[in-house]
Structure 1
Amino acid sequence: MIGVVALCGIVCALIVPRLLPLSRIEDTYTIENSDRDHETIPEGKTLFTHSLHKAVQKADKSPSFLTFLRDGLKNILDMWIGILPVVMAIGTMGLIVAEETPVFDYLGMPFIPFLELLNIPFAAEMSKTIMVGFADMFLPAIIGSSIESELTRFVIACLSVSQLIYMSEVGGLILGTKIPVSFFQLLVIFLLRTIISLPIIALCAHMIF
């Protein structure tokens, strides 16, 4: 499974940035007056030697061990207090909507012909798990756990990780930064990664099972 997810990640990393909406985002720095001089390889040095030199320079500026522990503890507390409640809230809301309403059944219907084309068993049942992954990464596995086909459960597990954009964690973090990506654009990226990853995962699943 890890190998399949890694393969999907590499393929998506090569394709998705070349498609809309990411292809329209300017290749600039978020910090004003920044340039790329520090990325230029000096004459007489190779990429490896220059990278090693920069790594040593960065290591020389690293904080003390106690400072490292203090900053790490602060980051952990920030995550527990600031992010975990949001993750739990979105995950809970997503699970309620998925279990108590037909919303994700309707949203997943357009994927049924695609799943049938890929010869994935229980296509209708799996289609519900595809869009619910936009809310939280773990919901597809929870909802799809009752599907009898081991192949289908494998596809669901791999796809839920490969989709990458889920609002309970990654999506919320991106929207909270200065990255110029809107909610709608995140949804488009999510769909692109889904469409690209599905055939790869399906092919690997049919080879394994």
Structure 2
Amino acid sequence: MASWLGDGSVGILLTSKQYENKFYTMREAAVIGTTFSAVSITFSLVVIAQVELEHLFLPFYGAICLAGIVAAIIIPRLPPLRNKKDTFIDGTKPSEDAEVTPKGHTTFSWGLDLALQRAGTVTSAKSVFGEGVKNAVDMVFGVLPVVMGLGTVALVIAEYTSVFEILGTPFIPYLELLGVPEAVAASKTMVVGFADMFIPSILAASIDNEMTRFVIAAMSVTQLIYMSEVGALLLGSRIPVNIVELFVIFILRTLITLPVIAGVAHLIF
């Protein structure tokens, strides 16, 4: 439940601000917020340590990166992200030449010029520092209660009820098809990640098979849409996504990244 410290929170706060300032369209903000947020390397190390596979951290994080790239290529082309309007927050459309690189510039040089122009609008270091502190305080006091509340409730449900076991049942044939050992035990962790990212690893710690623990730990990071942090922030922001869409994106990420991670796991074990 320490996942609120991950890089995803900061990314979503920045994305929401850029969306409100008309730097991103509805579709761009939704895609970035649900697809390009990332879990920090340090917390990924906490996850792999929970399943006692620290010696496999490099291939573990490599599998996460590979699965994330595959998901980023495919998911924005599927509903619900595909159906988001390519308009700004006020309904206006971006200029047709907004993405055109002027003559005499390369993409890099034009991007550098724009970055310098943007940096030139900063009035003082004090204002930047003050805004950073405000964002940090908003994140801590806005997210921490949600993380603790949802994470605790989800862990209680996972430990003392069969809710997530039932919800994970449809994944058993899929896991067996991919050759993941102890598919029944692994299936119980497939949906619980929607509540909190760390709970699948807690449940996986009791599984004997190392490959299964590896797959579950990597999946818990690549699923990305967990309501105790990323989901709560997205719903609390003005980024145009609702809880049903978030659950659909979560399932799509699970279905798409699982074969990638299972493939890497078969190469290792």
- TM-score bin (small chain): over 0.9
Partner Cα separation in structure 1 for residue 90 and residue 100 of structure 2? 18
1:4 matched to which residue of 2?
63
Task: Give the deviation of 1:8 after TM superposition.
Answer: 0.9
Aligned partner of 2:223 in structure 1 is 163
Post-superposition offset of 1:165: 0.6
Q: Shift of residue 98 of structure 1?
A: 0.5
The runs of 5 or more residues in structure 1 that have no matched partner are none
TM-score normalised by structure 2 residue count: 0.74
The residue aligned with 1:74 is: 134
In 1, Cα distance between equivalents of 2:139 and 2:241: 22
Equivalent residue, structure 2, for 1:14: 73
- Deviation per residue, 1:122-170 (Å, 9 max, x gap): 1111101110000011110111111111111111111111111111111
Tell me, in whole angstroms, the C-alpha distance in 1 between the residues paired with 2:212 and 2:118: 46
Q: How many residues align?
A: 209
- Opposite residue 15 of structure 1, the aligned amino acid is I
Residue equivalent to 2:172 = 112
Which of the pair has the greater relative contact order for Cα pairs under 8 Å at 6+ separation?
2
Q: Which structure has the larger Rg over C-alpha atoms?
A: 1
* Cα separation, partners in 2 of 1:63 and 1:6, compared to 1, 3 Å: farther
What is the TM-score with the length of structure 1 in the denominator?
0.94
Counterpart CA distance in 2 for 1:63 and 1:119 is 58
The correspondence for 1:134, drawn from 186, 194, 200, is: 194
1:25 aligns with 2:84: yes
Determine if the alignment matches structure 1 residue 193 to structure 2 residue 263.
Answer: no
Q: Contact 2:219–2:254 at 8 Å: present in 1 too?
A: yes
Aligned CA-pair RMSD: 1.4
Alpha-carbon offset, residue 22 of structure 1: 1.2
The whole-number CA distance in structure 2 between the counterparts of 1:148 and 1:84 is 33
Structure 1 residues 23 and 131, CA, compared in 2 at 3 Å: closer, same or farther?
A: same
CA distance in 1, matches of 2:223, 2:62: 15
5+ unaligned residues in a row in structure 2: which ranges? 1-59
Q: Work out the percentage of aligned pairs sharing the same amino acid.
A: 53
